Amino acid sequence: MSVIADPVETDAVIIGAGPVGLFAVFELGLLDLKCHLIDILDRAGGQCAELYPEKPIYDIPAWPEISGQGLTDRLMEQIKPFDPEFHFNRMVTAVDKLEDGSFLVTTDENEVIKAKVVVIAAGGGSFQPKRPPVPGIEAFEDKSVFYSVRRMEEFRDHDILIVGGGDSALDWTLSLQPIAKSLTLLHRRDAFRGAPDSVNKMKALVEEGKINLQLGQVTGLNGADGLVESASVKTKEGDEIEVKCSRVLPFFGLTMKLGPIADWGLNLNENLLPVDTEKFATSEPGIFAIGDINTYPGKLKLILSGFHEAALMAHAAKKYIAPDERIVFQYTTSSTSLQKKLGV
């Protein structure tokens, strides 16, 4: 690994910007600890924002009903006074401990943040693209089958097959069409989940004869040495056809995978991080785990449990950073010093 001269420095790095990671900013902030949050998603909210933004949650104390996105928005508002820094579209790949007990946290974009403590609030793991159920697809991955577009140039002059009916499928259909040799959009049905405006633009391209829209499902990929030549498709009408393609982009949503956390030398129990229920500390002093990613006797994977864990963890983190400082227990209602921090 190359040595990076001046990593950004902060008090706490929180891995995962789900509801629990977000609330940890509040609890750490009350103890004067500044936070950076890193998430592989492009926005905050974790499962609440990605899996069920519009669905109601009924067991958040004092909120008889609130949507996944509503809860996320409220948390963002609540932590605003602490001015957390967000690093989105980044996966944390490594956490290394330094001799002085602090940590270097590295992302897949090779950014490095130096932190006094690390809080893992990684939920069910990082959100990653789902592999579509096509036999043998693994052999083509990263050679001619891609789950995201890192560089558009790699698709220039190719016969592109895009599979899916959501925003990613539609957006990339619109963006790649001008540089593609040919482009086929394959979807199971003629209704699309994506934004109506994108759907209209896509349909206009179909009418102009610039892209092909095929209704059906991929049943297999054909080619050699990782280079796809065609896809076998079962059409909506039940016919088997071949679609010529040299690049395939399947968009089948996201799923959660533990990911690199498994490689950080922490004790794991069935893909979860065992912690104590006083400090929520992992097996490595200075690294804490809260929310869905941790486990302990009686653990409930509920948002409200994660909030409680965040409060206790924050006090333990403060003690790790400043062992000799006395922490005065205070209420936000009555403490003028806490209110000053909150800007109220």
Contact footprint for ligand FAD (CB under 6 A)? 15-21, 38-41, 46-48, 51-52, 57, 59, 91-92, 121-127, 259-261, 291-292, 301-304, 306
Q: Where do we find the tokens 């205070």? A: 330
Options 31-39, 109-117, 163-171, 207-215: segment touching other proteins (CB under 8 A)? 163-171
C-alpha 294: how far from chain center: 17
From the list other proteins, ligand FAD, none, partner contacted by residue 191 (C-beta under 5 to 8 A by kind): other proteins
Please identify which residue in 7, 8, 34, 51 interacts with other proteins, judged by CB under 8 A: 51
45 binds other proteins (CB under 8 A): no
Over the window 53 to 92, marking each residue x when it contacts other proteins by CB under 8 A and - when it does not, the resulting string is --x-------------------------------------
Residue 29 CB neighbour total at 10 angstroms: 24
Distance CA 213, CA 245 (A): 14
Residue (233 or 290) nearer to ligand FAD, CB: 290
From the list other proteins, ligand FAD, none, partner contacted by residue 166 (C-beta under 5 to 8 A by kind): other proteins
Distance CA 234, CA 218 (A): 6
In whole angstroms, the minimum distance from the beta carbon of 237 to other proteins comes to 11
Q: What is the DSSP letter of 165?
A: S
From the list other proteins, ligand FAD, none, partner contacted by residue 59 (C-beta under 5 to 8 A by kind): ligand FAD
Of residues 9, 259, 258, 261, the one with CA closest to residue 111? 9
Give the 3-state DSSP-derived string for 41-53, with helices as H, strands as E and coil as C: CCCCCHHHHHCCC
Q: What is the DSSP letter of 80?
A: G
Torsion of CA 210, 214, 218, 223, to 10 degrees: -40
136 binds other proteins (CB under 8 A): no
Distance CA 122, CA 333 (A): 31
Of residues 83, 84, 171, the one with CA closest to residue 121? 84
In whole angstroms, the minimum distance from the beta carbon of 128 to other proteins comes to 14
List interacting residues with other proteins (CB under 8 A): 51-52, 55, 130, 133, 164-166, 187-189, 191, 193, 217, 252-253
